[in-house]
Structure 1
């Protein structure tokens, strides 16, 4: 949708699902995401999205500082150029989490 506020029906979002509304590049800044994850005993997050080197990377850096384990689904994220995408995958994410393709993640999990 034009405003990016509706979830794809294939996600099967339920009424009791907790939704975090990002207002900045990172999902932790200005939200209660950390609190909600800790209340639920979650210590590992799986990241994908748009844009690899902006929103995903900002959230990943914040998550690292909060001490979360992270798995990055490399083929489920994209950005403006292949070079920007590859730079984050090559230089940032390996230092703060595990890189997996969608298939690797589904097979290993």
Structure 2
């Protein structure tokens, strides 16, 4: 496989997107489903990697800083941690542990405490396409770390959302103006 790009679908889970989710961004997140699905399929057909860095927590973990900030969410083995909507079926059908795979993350950034950078470099990937939620939290922190590690960034504006519209808009400007990301509508 010679592709040098990967799609990271960040935290697109029931807890962050579904109306019944523990920490949902609601309709703005739900409206992304078609865009994310189409992009995943397109990049998969192109031979690109489609990876799902996905938040995972233990309820009331006294050692995790988010415990003080947010209610329990994305708990391993729960409905809340499953991918939202039709993306769960797409993932189940395509997951091969390499081209398409889900991996755990426990912090906002998909790089913090994971081997993501190592895995990307092993595969000579230098360009990351980012979609998911929330624009101004996990997508932003992943983008900042990717920038600091010298990855090229492509942000799909119709593939990111937040529960905070002002934060969403600020993050879009930050991606473009401070991280030099290519912005795609």
Q: TM-score, normalised by structure 1?
A: 0.83
Q: Return the alpha-carbon distance in structure 2 between the equivalents of residues 59 and 42 of structure 1.
A: 15
CA-atom RMSD in angstroms: 1.6
4+ runs deviating over 3 angstroms: none
Higher Rg = 2
Task: Tell me what 1:46 maps to.
Answer: 129
CA contact (8 A) 2:82 2:88 kept: no
Task: Tell me what 1:78 maps to.
Answer: 161
Q: Structure 1, residues 30-72: CA drift from partner, whole Å, max 9, x if none? A: 0000000000000000001110000000000000010000000
Deviation at 1:15, TM superposition (A): 2.5
Q: Return the alpha-carbon distance in structure 2 between the equivalents of residues 20 and 68 of structure 1.
A: 19
**Number of residues of Structure 1 aligned to a counterpart in Structure 2:** 100
Task: Tell me what 2:57 maps to.
Answer: none
Pairing partner for 2:183 from 90, 99, 109? 99
The higher relative CO (CA closer than 8 Å, separation ≥ 6) is in: 2
Q: TM-score, normalised by structure 2?
A: 0.50
What are the ranges of 5 or more consecutive residues in structure 1 without an aligned counterpart? Answer: 102-109
Deviation at 1:20, TM superposition (A): 2.3
Task: Tell me what 2:112 maps to.
Answer: 29
What are the ranges of 5 or more consecutive residues in structure 2 without an aligned counterpart? Answer: 1-13, 15-78
